């Protein structure tokens, strides 16, 4: 049966991958992609034509025709764009990938609030909320992470009030070669590449041949790893866990691949940039360039996982018993 799917997201990258997966799943599905991506320093938010082209290429559809509609709006202006729309299923994609966590959380909360407020008028029978994984609430990022858990709670309550079936999905950061094109920098490997690029640029502006004579030493990598999850794989898992098909209400987490040691990722990324990156045991004797890299890698280390730690269990199901917990694709 023909259906309309509304996908609203602050990440044009992940929302676009999901839209492509939705279009390829059925030949009679219509997708409305509402991008609430914002411009950032040095990166202008993608426009409607760029996003539409990206979705069509990702779905391997030369011309999706009237099956794809792309709308671009600031998170605060989403409510106006939703007026008059209808959809059978609604996705809200707020992965929390902004390099400025507080700014990103504010935009994600604005988008989710507008979509949830419009849920009864949209006439949807299903709602899927996509947020970041990671349940740790301690450390500097604790308040931001707790804010995303609050968004999940609000989503469940709004769906229960509206009588709408719901799924809450959590995804690790992804790796996507189109991220720089979209001006996005998901946590993990993309932040590491950005850190190396920034350090190389700043150092070579002052001493052009520095890296020809000196290695770049990185501390704090021992025992840490990064999960390298391709964006297409993440979109596939998210679609399988949230698409129509009789899945019960509940939570699910996209399984992350086995982490790659951070030291190995640093060495490979350094080779890409033509830099000899050498992990060291401690920060004693670091040069000014090394300390600059150490500062840039703080966010990467915060997002890394401990090697040898068991995979995180799926998030617990809702306390009201309306649906069981679920791993991705598992009822």
Q: To the nearest whole number, what is the mean pLDDT of the chain?
A: 87
What's the pLDDT at 131?
96
Residues facing 70 on adjacent strands: 33
Torsion of CA 70, 159, 154, 104, to 10 degrees: -10
Range of the domain at 136: 3-174+230-253
What's the pLDDT at 309?
56
Give CA–CA dist 119/146, Å, rounded. 23
The pTM of the full predicted model, rounded to 2 decimals, is 0.87
Residue 100 lies in a domain: yes
Give the 3-state DSSP-derived string for the chain, with helices as H, strands as E and coil as C: CCEEEEEEECCHHHHHHHHHHHHHHCCCEEEEEEECCCCECCECCCCHHHHHHHHHHHCCCCCCHHHEEEEECCHHHHHHHHCCCCCCEEEEECCCCCCCHHHHHHHHHHHHHHHHHHHHHHCCCEEEEEEECCCCCCCCCHHHHHHHHHHHHHHHHHHHHHCCEEEEEEECCCECCCCCCCCCCCCCHHHHHHHHHHHHHHHHHHCCCHHHHCCEEEECCCCEEECCCEHHHHHHHHHHHHCCCCCCCEEEECCCCCCEEHHHHHHHHHHHCCCCEEEECCCCCCCHHHHHHHHHCHHHHHHCEECCCCCCCCCCCCCCCCCCCCCCCCC
Q: What is the pLDDT of residues 38-51, one digit of tens each?
A: 887 777 889 999 99
What's the pLDDT at 118?
96
Q: What strands lie across the sheet with 305-306, from one edge to the other?
A: 260-261, 224-226, 305-306
Do 145 and 194 lie in one domain? The reply is: no
Query: What total number of domains does the chain contain?
Result: 2
Q: CA end-to-end span of the chain, whole Å?
A: 24
Residue 287 lies in a domain: yes
Do 123 and 203 lie in one domain? The reply is: no
Residue 246 lies in a domain: yes
Do 165 and 21 lie in one domain? The reply is: yes
Residue 103 lies in a domain: yes
Residue 324 lies in a domain: no
Do 84 and 45 lie in one domain? The reply is: yes
Per-residue pLDDT of the chain (331 residues), as tens digits, is 578 999 999 999 999 999 999 999 888 899 999 999 988 777 788 999 999 999 999 999 888 888 999 999 988 899 999 998 999 999 999 999 988 888 899 999 999 999 999 999 999 999 999 999 864 444 455 678 888 999 999 999 999 999 999 999 999 999 999 998 898 999 999 999 999 999 999 999 999 999 999 999 999 999 999 999 999 999 999 999 997 667 789 999 999 899 999 999 999 999 988 899 999 988 988 999 999 999 999 989 988 989 975 444 333 333 333 333 333 333 2
CATH number at residue 68: 3.40.50.720
Do 78 and 18 lie in one domain? The reply is: yes
Do 14 and 120 lie in one domain? The reply is: yes
What's the pLDDT at 134?
66
Show the CA angle centred on residue 137, arms to residues 131 and 143, nearest 5°: 80
Do 203 and 138 lie in one domain? The reply is: no
């Amino acid at each position: 049966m023909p259906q309309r799917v509304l996908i609203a997201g602050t990440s044009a990258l992940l929302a676009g991958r999901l839209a492509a997966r939705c279009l390829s799943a059925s030949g009679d599905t219509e997708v409305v992609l509402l991008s609430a991506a914002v411009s950032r320093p040095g990166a202008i938010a993608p426009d409607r034509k760029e996003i539409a082209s990206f979705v069509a290429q990702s779905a391997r559809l030369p011309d999706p025709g009237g099956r794809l509609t792309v709308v671009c709006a600031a998170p605060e202006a989403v409510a106006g764009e939703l007026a008059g729309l209808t959809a059978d299923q609604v996705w809200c994609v707020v992965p929390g990938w902004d390099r400025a966590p507080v700014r990103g959380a504010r935009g994600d909360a604005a988008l989710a609030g507008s979509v949830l407020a419009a849920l009864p008028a949209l006439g949807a029978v299903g709602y899927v909320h996509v947020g970041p994984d990671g349940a740790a609430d301690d450390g500097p990022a604790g308040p931001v992470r707790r804010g995303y858990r609050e968004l999940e709670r609000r989503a469940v309550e709004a769906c229960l009030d509206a009588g709408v079936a719901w799924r809450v999905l959590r995804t690790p950061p992804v790796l996507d070669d189109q991220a720089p094109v979209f001006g996005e920098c998901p946590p993990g490997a993309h932040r590491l590449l950005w850190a190396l690029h920034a350090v190389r640029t700043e150092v070579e502006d002052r001493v052009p041949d520095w890296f020809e004579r000196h290695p770049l030493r990185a501390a704090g990598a021992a025992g840490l790893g990064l999960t390298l999850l391709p964006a297409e794989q993440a979109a596939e898992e998210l679609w399988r866990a949230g698409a129509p098909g009789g899945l019960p209400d509940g939570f699910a987490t996209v399984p992350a691949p086995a982490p790659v040691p951070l030291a190995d990722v640093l060495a490979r990324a350094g080779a890409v940039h033509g830099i000899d990156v050498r992990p060291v045991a401690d920060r004693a004797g670091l040069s000014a360039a090394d300390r600059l890299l150490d500062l840039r890698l703080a966010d990467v280390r915060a997002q890394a996982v401990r090697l040898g730690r068991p995979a995180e269990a799926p998030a617990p199901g809702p306390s009201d018993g309306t649906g069981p917990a679920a791993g991705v694709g598992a009822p």
